[in-house]
Chain A
Amino acid sequence: MNGMTTGEAALDFPILSLALWLPLLIGLPIIVLARSRNAIVVGALMASLAQAVLAIIVTVTFDHQATGYQFVESAEWIPALGISYKLGVDGVSILMVLLTGILGPLVVAASWLTIHRREREFFAALITLQTAMLGVFVTLDFILFYVFWEMVLIPMYLMIGVWGHERRIYATIKFFLYTFAGSVLMLVAILAIRFTTGTFDIEAIPEEMAGASQILQRWVFVAFFLGFAIKVPMFPFHTWLPDAHVEAPTAGSMVLAGVLLKMGAYGFLRFLIPMAPDAVDEARGLVIALSLVAIVYGALVAMVQPDLKKLVAYSSVSHMGFVTLGIFTATQTGIDGALVQMLSHGVVSPALFFAVGVIYERAHTRRIDELGGLAPRMPIYATLFGFFMLASLGLPLLSGFVGEFLVLVGAFEYATGVGVLAALGVILAAAYMLWMYQRVALGRLRNQALATIPDVNRTEILTFVGLGVLVVWVGIFPDTFVRLLGATTAALAG
Chain B
Amino acid sequence: MLDAPWIIPLLPLLAFAVNGLAGRRSPRWTGWVSTLAILGSFLATVVLWIQSVGSDKDSSVLYTWVASGGFEIEIAFLTDALTVVMLLVVTGVSTLVSMYAVGYMDHDANKPRFFTWIPLFVFSMIMLVISDNLLQLFIFWEMVGLCSYLLIGYWYERDSANAAATKAFLVNRIGDFGFAIGIILAFHEFGTLRYREIFDGLGAADPRMVTAIACLLFIGAMGKSAQFPLHVWLPDAMEGPTPVSALIHAATMVTAGVYLVARLNPVYSAAPEALLLVAAVGTFTAFLAATIALTQTDIKRVLAYSTVSQLGLMFLAAGAGAYTVAIFHLATHAFFKALLFLGSGSVIHAMNDEQDMRQMGGLRSKLPVTYATFIIGGLALAAIFPLAGFWSKDEILALTHLKATSDPGSSLSTDHGAGIFWVFYFTGLAVSVMTAFYTFRMIVKTFHGQPRNAELHAHAHESPRVMTVPLIVLAAGALLTGAVLGIPPEHGIIHGYLKYAAGIVHLEGAGPPATVVLAVISTVAAGGGLLLALGAYSRGMGIPALARRILPGAETLFRQKWYMDHIGDGFGVAFTKATAMISWGFDAGVIDGIVNGVGHLSRFTAGQVRRLQTGQAQNYALLMVVGLVLTVGSLVLFR
Find out whether A and B make contact in their complex, taking CB atoms under 8 A apart as touching: yes
Instruction: Spell out A's residues near B (CB within 8 Å).
Output: 174, 177-178, 236, 238-240, 297, 300-301, 303-305, 331-333, 336-337, 373, 375-376, 390, 395-397, 401-402, 405-406, 408-409, 412-413, 416, 419-420, 423-424, 426-427, 430-431, 434-435, 438, 441-444, 477-479, 482-483, 485-486, 489-490, 493
A434 and chain B: residue at smallest CB distance: B166
- Is B591 among interface residues, defined by CB-CB distance under 8 A? yes
Decide if B576 touches A303 in the complex (CB within 8 Å). yes
> Cβ of A375: which chain B residues have Cβ within 8 Å of it?
156-157
> Is the pair B162, A409 in contact by a Cβ cutoff of 8 Å?
no
- Can you list, as one digit per residue, whether each of B115-156 has a CB less than 8 Å from chain A (1) or not (0)? 000000000000000000001001110110010010001001
Q: In whole angstroms, how far apart are the Cα atoms of A157 and B71 in the complex?
A: 42
Q: Is there contact, CB below 8 Å, between A430 and B579? A: no
C-alpha gap A412/B142 in the complex (Å): 21
User: A486 — which chain B residues lie within 8 A by C-beta?
Assistant: 67-69
Of A303, A424, A426, the most chain B CB neighbours within 10 A belong to A303
Query: Does B200 have its Cβ within 8 Å of any Cβ on chain A?
Result: no
* Beta-carbon contact of B177 and A427 below 8 Å: yes
Tell me the smallest distance from the CB of A484 to a CB of chain B, in Å.
11
Given contacts A240-B595, A427-B177, A478-B66, contact A438 B142 (CB under 8 A): no
**A478 and B143 form a contact (CB under 8 A):** no
Interface of B is mostly: helix
- Asked if B631 is at the interface (CB within 8 A of a chain A CB), the reply is no
Question: Is B65 a contact of A396 with CB atoms below 8 Å?
Answer: no
Indicate if the CB atoms of A337 and B68 lie closer than 8 Å: yes
The answer, yes or no, to whether B413 is at the interface (CB within 8 Å) is no
By a CB distance below 8 angstroms, the chain B residues around A333 are 68-71
> Which stretch in B252-260, B328-336, B580-588 binds the other chain?
B580-588
A108 to B382, CA, bound (A): 64
Contact of B139 among A401, A406, A477 (CB under 8 A): A401
Chain B contacts for A444, CB-based, 8 A: 157, 159
- Contact of A331 with B69 in the complex, beta carbons under 8 Å: yes
Interface residue? B173 (CB, 8 A): yes
Least CB distance, B61 to chain A, in whole angstroms: 13
Known contacts A239-B591, A442-B162: does B181 contact A420 (CB below 8 Å)?
Answer: yes
Residues in chain A near residue B195, CB distance under 8 A? none
For the complex, give the distance between the alpha carbons of A284 and B526 in Å. Answer: 62
Q: Which residues of A contact B187 (CB under 8 A)?
A: 409
Interface mask (B372-391 → A, CB under 8 Å = 1, otherwise 0): 00000000000000000000
CB distance from A382 to the nearest CB of B (A): 8
Once bound together, how far apart are the Cα atoms of A450 and B143, in whole Å?
A: 32
A-B contact pairs, 16 of them (CB 8 A): A174-B595, A300-B584, A303-B580, A304-B581, A332-B68, A336-B69, A376-B157, A401-B139, A406-B66, A406-B71, A435-B166, A443-B156, A444-B159, A477-B63, A478-B65, A482-B67
Q: Which of B68, B70, B157, B592 contacts A373 (CB 8 A)?
A: B157
Q: Main secondary structure on chain A at its contact with chain B?
A: helix
Task: Using A396-B142, A412-B184 as known contacts, say yes or no to A300 and B595 having CB atoms under 8 A apart.
Answer: no
Beyond A424-B177, A430-B173, A442-B156, whether A300 also contacts B579 by CB under 8 A is: yes
Hey, which chain A residues are within 8 Å of B584, CB to CB? 300-301, 304-305
Tell whether, in the assembled complex, residue A236 and residue B162 are in contact, meaning their CB atoms are under 8 Å apart. Answer: no
Q: Is B566 an interface residue when CB atoms closer than 8 A count as contact?
A: no
Q: Kindly list chain B residues whose C-beta atoms are within 8 Å of the C-beta of A402.
A: 66
Residues on B with beta carbons closer than 8 Å to the beta carbon of A426? 173, 176-177, 180
A307 to B153, CA, bound (A): 24
Cα-based distance from A336 to B68 in the complex (angstroms) = 7
- B178: nearest chain-A partner, CB-CB: A423
Chain A: minimal CB distance from B367 (Å): 32
> Which residues of the partner chain B approach A406 to less than 8 Å between Cβ atoms?
66, 68, 71
Contact of B341 with A by CB under 8 A: no
Given contacts A239-B587, A396-B143, A434-B149, 4 further A-B pairs with CB under 8 A are A178-B595, A426-B177, A434-B166, A489-B68
Tell me the smallest distance from the CB of B49 to a CB of chain A, in Å: 27
Bound: A70/B538 CA distance, A = 83
* 0/1 interface trace, chain B 160-178, chain A, CB 8 Å (1 if under): 0011011001100110110
Judged by a CB distance under 8 angstroms, whether B28 is at the interface is: no
Question: B167-208: which residues lie under 8 A (CB-CB) from chain A?
Answer: 169-170, 173-174, 176-177, 180-181, 184-185, 187-188
Q: In the complex, what residues of B have CB within 8 A of residue A416's CB?
A: 185
Structural contact, B181 and A423, CB atoms closer than 8 A: yes
Are B188 and A412 within 8 A (Cβ)? yes
Query: Shortest Cβ distance from B476 into chain A, in angstroms?
Result: 36
Contacting pair A395 B146 (CB below 8 A): yes
Shortest distance in angstroms between B607's beta carbon and chain A's nearest beta carbon?
Answer: 18
Interface hub of A174, A238, A303, A304 (most chain B Cβ within 10 A): A304
Is B577 close to A, CB under 8 A? yes
Residues of B within 8 A of A423 (CB): 177, 180-181
Residue B410 interfacial (CB < 8 Å) = no
CB distance from A452 to the nearest CB of B (A): 17
Residues of B within 8 A of A405 (CB): 135, 180
Does B608 touch A at the CB level, under 8 Å? no
Asked if B181 contacts A419 (CB within 8 A), the reply is yes
B188 touches A479 (CB 8 A): no
- What is the bound-complex CA distance between A476 and B159, given in angstroms? 33
Of residues A395, A396, A441, which shows the largest number of chain B Cβ atoms within 10 Å of its Cβ? Answer: A396
Closest 5 pairs between A and B when the two form their complex, measured CB to CB: A332-B69, A396-B139, A336-B68, A239-B592, A300-B580
Q: Is the CB of A443 within 8 A of B159?
A: yes
Partner of B71, one of A174, A390, A409, A485: A409
Contacts of A401 in B (CB 8 A): 139, 142
Give chain B nearest CB distance to A170 CB in angstroms. 9
CB nearest neighbor in B for A177: B599
**Contacts A332-B69, A434-B169, A486-B68 given: A397-B139 contact, CB under 8 Å?**
yes
